[in-house]
Amino acid sequence: MHDPVTLLAALAEPTRLAALRHLRDGREHCVCELMALLGASQSRMSRHMLVLRQAGLVVDRRDAQWVRYRLNPAMPAPLRRLVEAALELPPHPESLAA
């Protein structure tokens, strides 16, 4: 199903975890919005979102020139619990600088 090492590695990076915090609201967010919120370049943010997508944590939808992301609604319950537990932890100091 999901490789635990890939999942944990995806969750372990402060920018990716911060992006998941923003996606937690259930809405779609475009890369441009996440870039502005997290202070990341387009290429850096896109790479982070690719890692999250490959881990099965987010899904994307192309909307003209934008790509919009949201939490994966088909995420299995154990994975969702893991993500929720990670999001409940206090933000890493590096993610506060963004």
CATH code where residue 77 lies: 1.10.10.10
Q: Is the pLDDT of residue 94 over 70?
A: no
pTM of this structure: 0.87
Q: Is the pLDDT of residue 45 over 90?
A: yes
Q: What is the rounded average pLDDT of the residues 69-76?
A: 95
Q: Which domain holds residue 63?
A: 4-86
Q: Is the pLDDT of residue 98 over 50?
A: no
Specify if 92 maps to a domain: no
Average pLDDT, whole number, for the chain?
90
Q: What is the rounded distance in angstroms from the CA atom of residue 78 to the CA atom of residue 36? A: 31
Specify if 93 maps to a domain: no
